[in-house]
Amino acid sequence: MVVCGTSRGIGKAILSHLSLNPELHILALSRDITTLAEMYADNQRVTLIPFDLTLPVEPQLNEQFKEIKAIHALINNAGYLEQGTAETLSIEAYHRCMQTNFFGPVALIQWLFPRLVAGKAHVVNISTMGAYQGSVKFPGLSAYAASKAALTNFTEVFAEEQKDSGIRMNCLCLGAVNTEMLREAFPGYVASTSAEEMGSYIAEFTLRSGQVFNGKILPVSSSTP
């Protein structure tokens, strides 16, 4: 399986949980793999791959994926946050959020699509409660929330398009989790849910819920700031 965005926080916790499963071979994509190299140096079932969502996919992954013919699961966990009110935040800032939180994941899905196993593959996109329709919204996060909302809508349409192939896609909209990104957005706030708890939940959802859910936008939240 493939996990994108594993260098810190929830992604690091997802990888840690999945790495305990002796039946899995995990391809961990991250812009910075130095924080993980020592941890997984002796784990032959975890392959760390430098990957930047702002760059073209094929030159980065073509060699590493040459022998990979079948992918049963993909988790798009990477996220990028820009803060600023809608009237002051630059268009460039919106583009940066859209690239990492939407365009990049879509490009990765398209590139990996021929390897996704028909009837079995489960793609899980990680979004935010700020992108969930009707949820509480917070000033200064329009670029982040809008880019993640694009990913939620993409999830619904992709699932409809792939009904016949059996490739499943769902989106988890996360509430407050005690991560670096949350502390950047809400200084001083401490969430009751840890990165480890959420990472474990996402990992198990990906492995076990693909045949139960499809095209669903699911809130996963005990609190929002």
Q: Which CATH number do you get for residue 96?
A: 3.40.50.720
Question: Tell me, what's the pLDDT at 137?
Answer: 86
d(CA 27, CA 49): 7
* Number of domains within the chain: 1
Residue 113 lies in a domain: yes
Q: What angle do CA 150, 49, 123 make, to 5 degrees?
A: 35
Question: Tell me, what's the pLDDT at 133?
Answer: 84
Range of the domain at 108: 2-220
Question: Tell me, what's the pLDDT at 117?
Answer: 98
Q: Tell me the HSE value of 164 on the side-chain side, using a 13 A CA sphere.
A: 1
Residue 225 lies in a domain: no
User: Splitting the chain (225 residues) into consecutive groups of 10 residues, what average pLDDT does each group show?
Assistant: 96 97 97 93 95 97 95 97 95 98 98 97 96 87 96 98 97 90 83 92 96 96 75
Which three-class secondary structure string do you get for the chain? CEEECCCCHHHHHHHHHHCCCCCCCEEEEECCCHHHHCCCCCCCCEEEEECCCCCCHHHHHCCCCCCCCCECEEEECCCCCCCCCCCCCCHHHHHHHHHHHHHHHHHHHHHHHHHECCCCCEEEEEEEHHHCCCCCCCCCCHHHHHHHHHHHHHHHHHHHHCCCCCCEEEEEEECCCECHHHHHHCCCCCCCCEHHHHHHHHHHHHHHCCCCCCCCEEEECCCCC
85 φ/ψ angles, rounded to the nearest 5 degrees: -70, 160
Residue 117 lies in a domain: yes
Q: How many CB atoms lie within 10 A of CB 86?
A: 12
Residue 22 lies in a domain: yes
Nearest to 78 by CA among 52, 49, 115: 52
Question: Tell me, what's the pLDDT at 189?
Answer: 79
Which pair of structure tokens corresponds to residue 44? Answer: 């032959």
Question: Tell me, what's the pLDDT at 191?
Answer: 86
